[in-house]
Amino acid sequence: MKFISEYRNPEVVEQYINEIHKITTQNWTIMEVCGGQTHSLVKNGILNILPSKITMVHGPGCPVCVTPLNLIDKAVYLALNKGVIMCTFGDMIRVPGSEKSLLEAKAFGADVRILYSPLEAVKIAQENPDKQVVFFAVGFETTAPANALSVLHAKRLGLNNYSILASHVLVPPAIEAVMNDDTARIQGFLAAGHVCTIMGISDYQPIVEKYQIPIVVTGFEPVDLLHGILMVVKQLENGEKKLENQYSRVVKPEGNPEAIKVINEVFETQDREWRGIGTIPMSGWEVKSTLTEFDANKKFAINIAKAPECAECIAGLVLKGIKKPYECSQFGKNCTPEKPLGAPMVSSEGACAAYFHYANVEAV
């Protein structure tokens, strides 16, 4: 299949691996921001064939993983106590809240539905005018255009029974938060190609200049990732700090102007709490105050006390690249995909799930 098979070509993979080994003379720590990249690195065994001097650490780029515990509790509350039809992407349904997940709420009789698109939720609202329909709008910049379109579509249709519970987070502020951490040891970044497909790459240039680190935008296939790692290592070995775009077949410097326009019609930037990390300034999108009727948080005036995170879960350290999943004492023991203590073990982009499914490791 074009644009897939050629980016899994073993001969090209071997070529990049050999070149990375050839040029690597120093110890380098590189963070891939996106959880999708983490899964590809682990699943394809790339971490095992890189030079021992290169350490890949996994970043906070799993939107399900960083969705605040309190927001999941709100979704569960709406589903169980307000009788809404709660719609969500599949990843969110099993993420634990402080007491229940949405899957457990469904088992208790809540109307929770897994959808592939928020526009399906708008259709459900049309078909059920006597019921309130809420879409749990989770994601990075990538999913924001579709979620914003659902609001605009519902507005055009005059639906007063549709709203979204927004949990949109932004990648550039997360990279800054990682670099501002006193324990940061990151020397270069692989940025997520799908995010840049929407937003472009210009937001990363100030980060390169401020922290004097290379950032390379990459895709998700083995060839993409190895090429991106090679580009970062070349910069590091040559003392360069640049923003480069490995994923140019998909990512344009300006991004997708029409998608950005839709996002700006519906969302505004605000401070956002990241589960396991804390509040990162101006790192999230909320529904604009002019569209309050489509903001489930305000529409239902949800006020639920914040609950503490599981004390045994080190998800925050994993998301900041400080710890690897297997460095958690509960990994694969009291924390499994069937019974997760934290979101990174259940999300399809979670680092803990990647190691559990694809890496032959045990808790240390």
182-207 per-position pLDDT tens digit: 888 899 999 999 999 999 999 999 99
Q: Pull the structure tokens for residue 331.
A: 């990994």
Q: Pull the structure tokens for residue 11.
A: 């001969």
Residues of the chain predicted below pLDDT 50: 1
What's the confidence (pLDDT) of residue 6?
77
What's the confidence (pLDDT) of residue 307?
87
Question: Please, are residues 314 and 107 in contact by the beta-carbon 8 Å criterion?
Answer: no
- By 3-state DSSP, what share of the chain in percent is helix, strand and coil, each rounded to 5? 45, 20, 35
Q: Pull the structure tokens for residue 177.
A: 């938060």
What's the confidence (pLDDT) of residue 195?
96
Domains recognised in the chain with CATH numbers: 1-308 (3.40.50.11740), 315-358 (no CATH)
What's the confidence (pLDDT) of residue 1?
47
What's the confidence (pLDDT) of residue 183?
84
Please state the pTM of the whole predicted model.
0.93
Of the candidates 297, 277, 281, which has an alpha carbon nearest to the alpha carbon of residue 344? Answer: 277
3-class DSSP state of 295? strand
